[in-house]
Amino acid sequence: MSHQLDALRALTTVVADTGDFETMRAYQPTDATTNPSLILKAVQQDAYRPLLDRVLRDHPAAPLAEQADRLLVAFGREILAIVPGRVSTEVDARLSFDTQASIERARQIIALYESAGIARERILIKLASTWEGIQAARVLQAEGIRCNLTLLFSLTQAIACAQARVTLVSPFVGRIYDWYKKTAGADWNEAANAGPNDPGVQSVAHIYRYFKAYDIPTQVMGASFRNIGQIRALAGCDLLTISPALLGELAACTDPLPASLTVADAKANAPEWLASNEVAFRTQLNQDAMATEKLAEGIRIFTADAAKLDAMLGQTA
């Protein structure tokens, strides 16, 4: 009997949001995406410790930043042996406000993959959707290095990414939901804010419709889900990156799953066209309390986990 995970695959490219190889083998996603938090969690498990040990054994004198990138690439190579598509590998979040340093680290990551025989077409470089990160992506895309702009919480960020011709954007459904729920406090009505009424779902749906209405080639990948209702409400989105627990819930459900997002509907209900430049980007982002706060918080979290990973590398060396 068919289940909702199979039905979703017919509508959307399914991406595994995990660093766990066995989960990928079990659910057979097309792509996979990682971040510093996921890699940090993985290397603390016995099953993945050999990857860390191998990097330190083979490159004991390498600078810490290079060792960290080699560890990320080691995970990426293992993932690409499992998934048929692409893997996203993240540039150090501590560089989120440094365009040139982000470009240089991205080039280094791609060089490490290519030296291992992995074509750059199978790699997506993840960068935070700051103005500086987006401008780094503009340069990298022009060099044939495909980018995935993450920590994205607003249409303002998405439009700037589209203008930079990035390959893919990852708007964060769950973290938007978290902000609105926390802000509402005791007034939050879960039932009234579920499914298509979920503020995180609405944000991603708006970006999807904007891109499709104006034939913008940048792909939209919904990320950071809290429940399968959010996933169902975005069925039809270009890609969805989903945690192991929610992949399991979808695989256990046999209810029908119709498309919630379609190109035809987007074109029939085109949003207003919006111009964008640096001043507009910074002004609009500053006026959006949710997007501003969640972007800053996300960078802080990824920065903290990158530092923990550095400490682990330093202590083990």
In the chain, domain spans? 4-316
- Round to whole Å and give the CA distance between 183 and 288: 14
Is the pLDDT score of 317 beyond 60? no
Q: Which two tokens stand for residue 177?
A: 């939901």
Catalytic residue among 126, 182, 212, 267: 126
Residue 315 pLDDT grade (very low, low, confident, very high; cuts 50, 70, 90): confident
DSSP state of 223: B
Could you tell me the CATH superfamily of domain 4-316?
Aldolase class I (3.20.20.70)
Residue 316 pLDDT grade (very low, low, confident, very high; cuts 50, 70, 90): low
Task: Transcribe 162-190 into DSSP letters.
Answer: HHTT-SEEEEBHHHHHHHHHHHHGGG--T
Torsion of CA 175, 120, 39, 94, to 10 degrees: -70
Q: What is the pLDDT of residues 78-105, one digit of tens each?
A: 999 999 999 999 999 999 999 999 999 9
- Round to whole Å and give the CA distance between 205 and 195: 11
Residue 79: how many other CB atoms lie within 10 Å: 25
Q: Could you tell me if 209 and 269 are in contact, meaning their C-beta atoms sit under 8 angstroms apart?
A: yes
- Round to whole Å and give the CA distance between 36 and 57: 21
Question: Is 126 tagged catalytic?
Answer: yes
Mean pLDDT of the chain: 95
Can you tell me the mean pLDDT for 39-61? 91
Question: Helix 155-163 and helix 289-316: axis angle, to 10°?
Answer: 70
- Name the H helices within 60-98: 64-80
- pLDDT for res 85: 97
Q: What is the pLDDT of residues 222-256, one digit of tens each?
A: 999 999 999 999 999 999 999 999 999 999 999 99
Is the pTM above the cut of 0.85?
yes
- Round to whole Å and give the CA distance between 142 and 73: 22
Can you tell me the mean pLDDT for 134-160? 98
Residue 38 pLDDT grade (very low, low, confident, very high; cuts 50, 70, 90): confident
